[in-house]
A and B are shown apart, each in its own frame.
Chain A
Amino acid sequence: MIKRKLVGAHYGFGDWLLQRGTALVMALYATLILVIMAIVQPSTYLEWRGIFDNRIMAFLTFIYLVALFWHAWIGVRDIWLDYVKNTGVRLLLLLATLAVTIGYTGWAVQILWRV
């Protein structure tokens, strides 16, 4: 007989850690982008676009956005798990949230690299 642990201690630890890790990534990016905005002070289209045309900035912005979507997924998932008791509705909301966040990731690629 297979004994698989489904609940108990350490359950969800990975998500807990990811929520902190993604928060830290976002905080670092926020600091970086504030410094860049203060230095560049973009007012024209070319100046604004120039920031994100830089390959490193596009890459870092993508990392930030992925961290944001992941963070949002864990947070919104927790909200559904806390308040929605009906299994069917809960599953639907979880799937919709997951689909939307994955979709946003694709959208972010499109915005940053204009595929």
Chain B
Amino acid sequence: MKPIIKIQNLSKRYRLGGNGGARYATLRESLSGMMRAPLAILGRKGRASRPELWALKDINLEIMPGEVIGIIGSNGAGKSTLLKVISRVTEPTEGRVELYGRIGSLLEVGTGFHPELTGRENVYLNGAILGMKKEEIERKFNDIVRFAEVERFLDTPIKRYSSGMYVRLAFAVAAHLEPDVLLVDEVLSVGDMAFQKKCLQKISQMRSHSNAILIVSHNMIAVRAICEKVILLSQGQLAAAGRADEIVPLYEKLMLENVKTETVADEREEGMGIIRVKSVRLVNRAGTEARAFDTGESMKVVVEYEARQRAVSVVAYAAIRRPDGFICMGTSTRLEGVVLPPLEGPGVVELEISELLVIPGYYIMDVTFYDENFEFRTYFLGRKQISFQINSSLPSLDDKYGVFYQKHKWNIDDVNVNSPAHR
């Protein structure tokens, strides 16, 4: 069988600017660069001194019609660059890609949506941007609207949409593309769980329309569920390729090792800045701050925040994640009907976990504040992630035994064997 995409010796180099992250130049810099250029050509120095980054290096790949391929790898491994080259957004430095079918990309949900335009108008605009013909959009219009569940708000400017509606509409348009090859970049991480499920279902359906799907994702659960073949990229190079159930564990192992080598004080902060999560402290049963806990031990999560503007209908969310992103346990104030008062200024929220029932390993405590109404643009009001470690007195307890280590007891005849973790 012949491939639908043929990638040969593909490389992409980025020149890193030396001016503190500003990637666009000013005229003055270019002019002074031109002045130096004659010397640089003589000495061959000017070019070499600029730092380079090979985002992709010698990628060779053939994608067959009907294949659903997951592209995985840590941040900066070149996953998105690969999709960008295939979708012709950016040009390769070396090598070539041959496309034997129409490419449709779902690189970012809602690309080109204009907040002032109505839902109806944006469907047409977005459809055209994604490469649909007007007649094609008209034909699919009703399906798109029904999928997005925004019938009643079709003539409302989308700046008044909740972020849930916005994302649904955006995904609906993109999902109704019928390309020969579909490129998907992390769309699976938008919206709430119910919507993610719907997205996955739709992608499964699209397999029957599309003749090949390439998915970039950090969500290994999704990758395992929908991709037969997985490509692991590492520092721009193709590290491994094969069946999902072979490659995904390889990657997870790699990720875990990375976490282990990083300092335990690893912290990450993001968000829109409306609410800043100042600190997340994990307190053990002795009442002291800790980064290592035992399976079955209690944990108190003390979250110090500061609301920079008055924020209403805020939901606090906390989750224990594995380094690969899998959520072992999550909870939110909304889930349990706890209502937060309007937040203003500094404050503290605490979460008490009476027993940590996960297997030993490295985990991330993800604390997020979000708007209950999922207001557009303020999806994450504030967020902080902090890593911690779980230990166990059972030396061989690891992921062979699953995710959780529940409180349990073996009963064999009249002999009682208690689980040592839960005495």
Is the A/B pair a real complex?
no
What is A's interface to B at a CB cutoff of 8 Å?
none
